[in-house]
Amino acid sequence: MNQLFNIKSISELHRILGCPPPKHPAISFLNFAEMNVATDISETIKANTDFYIISLKAAQGSMKYGRNHYDFEEGTLLFTAPNQVLSPSNLIEDMDDTCGWSLFFHPDLLYHSDLGKKISQYSFFTYEANEALHLSEDEKSKILDCIGNITEEYNQNIDQHSQDLILSNLELLLNYCRRFYDRQFYTRRKYNKDIVVQIERLLLEYFNSDKPGLLGLPSVKYCAEQVNLSPNYLSDLLKKETGKNTKEHINYYLLEKAKALLLSSELNINEIAYDLGFEYSKSFGKLFKKKVGITPKEYRKLN
The domain that contains 282 carries what CATH number? 1.10.10.60
Residue 111 lies in a domain: yes
Domain boundary pick from 134, 152, 181 = 134
- How does strand 76-80 pair with strand 27-31? unpaired
Q: Is the pLDDT of residue 287 over 70?
A: yes
In the chain, the number of structural domains is 2
Q: Which of 69, 104, 134 is the last residue of a domain?
A: 134
What is the mean pLDDT of the segment spanning 90-108? 71
Return the minimum-mean-pLDDT range out of 34-38, 58-62, 141-145, 164-168.
58-62
Q: What is the DSSP letter of 66?
A: T
> Does residue 39 have a pLDDT over 50?
no
Q: What does pLDDT average to over the chain? A: 87
Query: 14 and 114 in one domain?
Result: yes
| Dist. CA 47–CA 75, nearest whole Å | 24
DSSP state of 57: E
Domain membership flag for residue 140: no
pTM for the full predicted model: 0.83
Mean pLDDT (whole number) for 99-122: 93
Residue 41 has pLDDT above 90, yes or no: no
* pLDDT score of 97: 47
Does residue 296 surpass a pLDDT of 50?
yes
pLDDT band at 241 (very low <50, low <70, confident <90, very high): very high
170-202 pLDDT, tens digit per residue, is 999 999 999 999 999 998 888 899 999 999 999
- Of the candidates 168, 189, 146, which has an alpha carbon nearest to the alpha carbon of residue 56? 146
Contact 32, 94 (CB under 8 A): yes
pLDDT at 45: 63
Same domain? 246 vs 130: no
Check residue 72 and give its pLDDT: 46
Residue 5: its pLDDT value, please?
A: 80
- Kindly indicate the confidence band of residue 32, based on its pLDDT and cuts at 50, 70 and 90: confident
Dist CA 303 CA 294 (whole Å): 12
d(CA 113, CA 117): 7
Q: pLDDT by residue (tens digit) across 206-236? A: 999 999 999 999 999 999 999 999 999 999 9
The kind and range of the H/E element at 97 are helix 88-97
- 43 has pLDDT over 70: no
- Do 118 and 7 sit in the same domain of this protein? yes
The conformational region for residue 181 under phi > 0 = left, psi -120 to 50 = alpha, else beta, is: alpha
Residue 84 is predicted with a pLDDT of 86
Cα(56)–Cα(101) distance, integer angstroms: 5
Question: In this model, does residue 65 exceed pLDDT 70?
Answer: no
Whether 40 and 16 have beta carbons less than 8 Å apart is answered as yes
Residue 70, pLDDT > 60, answer no
Phi, psi dihedral angles at 280 (to 5 degrees): -125, 130
Other beta carbons within 10 angstroms of residue 186's beta carbon come to 11
pLDDT beyond 70 at 63: no
For residue 261, give Cα distances in angstroms to 123, 208, 233, 249, 301: 36, 11, 32, 19, 13
Q: What range does the domain containing 215 cover?
A: 190-302
* 123 and 209 belong to one structural domain: no
